[in-house]
Amino acid sequence: MMPRAELLKDIIADLRMAASFVTILPVASSKPAADGAVARATWALPVAGLLVGLAGALIYKLAIRVGLTPNLAALLALAATTLITGTLHEDGLADTADGLGGGRTRERKLEIMRDSRIGTYGVCALILSFGLRWSALAAIASPAAVTLALCAAHAAARAGVPAFMSLVPPARPDGLSASAGVPPGRSVAIAFAVGTLALALALGPGKALVGLILVSLAGLLLARLAIRQIGGQTGDILGAFEQICEILILLVAAAFQIGR
């Protein structure tokens, strides 16, 4: 059995790696990224997502406190979460939309997804993503409820990424996702458990179940689309998956909030 001090050191290293992988926070990992450390650290992605959600919630609460409307506060919260992640997931969503929507062959789709320029499909995807998330947060309105919704969305949206990486093979051997490796079953299970717990605690069992069903269906559909069109997943596909899940969870939170 691993000594407690060594176990704690590994946990901290994984948390730092996960945070550095999905945010622009100035954290560095003590583990080399070339020996499968990134794949093993994927269990900590929902924890890193929780930090992102808390940052957005803090900005929302401050905006409401100084007298701004829920619409403006929601926009500022989205700006905060986008800045802290360095638009990593939004970039993936846009590239995925451009590649899958604009290319005719597998090679052309992958080429488009690697192009730094953004096309019509990507612009439309970003408008829909920001519009849906902004509307959902503004509809929730209450700072306490927004905090719970943001934490649930950002944690749970990243909790499914290890499973997606494990079940869907990389589309190419030299991309970001391929270099990260395949997450081990333990990391997949821990990430799923953390994400499910975050959903249940933040939204309640009923909303959590609805959210899990929706994100699972979205993951299956995206996986099938990616395999059929480009042969597997890429870093951009993973970013699109996170964005879709984040949107769905916020919409579930908003729908139940309005219905009360």
pLDDT tens digits for range 157-178:
999 999 999 999 998 877 666 6
d(CA 168, CA 157): 17
d(CA 29, CA 15): 8
Q: Give residue 175's pLDDT.
A: 66
Taking alpha carbons only, the member of 199, 93, 91, 212 closest to residue 154 is: 199
Amino acid at 255: A
Q: Give residue 104's pLDDT.
A: 84
d(CA 34, CA 110): 24
Q: Give residue 127's pLDDT.
A: 97
Instruction: Extract the tokens encoding 161.
Output: 């990424």
Which residues does residue 170 pair with via DSSP β-bridges, in sequence order?
Answer: 233
122 contacts 236 by C-beta, under 8 angstroms: no
Q: Give residue 259's pLDDT.
A: 40
The pTM of the full predicted model, rounded to 2 decimals, is 0.92
Q: Give residue 13's pLDDT.
A: 82
Q: Which residues contact 119 (CB under 8 A, 6 or more apart)?
A: 98, 102, 112
Task: Read off the DSSP letter of residue 29.
Answer: -
Q: Give residue 227's pLDDT.
A: 95
d(CA 35, CA 37): 6
d(CA 41, CA 111): 29
Q: Is residue 1 packed enough to be buried (19+ CB in 10 Å), middle (13-18) or exposed (0-12)?
A: exposed
158 contacts 195 by C-beta, under 8 angstroms: yes
- Which residue carries 């001090």 as its tokens? 5
Q: Is 45 helix (H, G, I), strand (E, B) or coil?
A: helix
Taking alpha carbons only, the member of 81, 227, 241, 236 closest to residue 159 is: 241
Angle at 159 between CA 154 and CA 161, to 5 degrees: 110
Point out the residues of the chain with pLDDT beneath 70: 1-2, 28-35, 175-178, 257-260
* Pairs from 79-82 (Cβ < 8 Å, separation ≥ 24): 80/55, 80/56, 81/52, 81/53, 81/55, 81/56, 81/150, 81/154
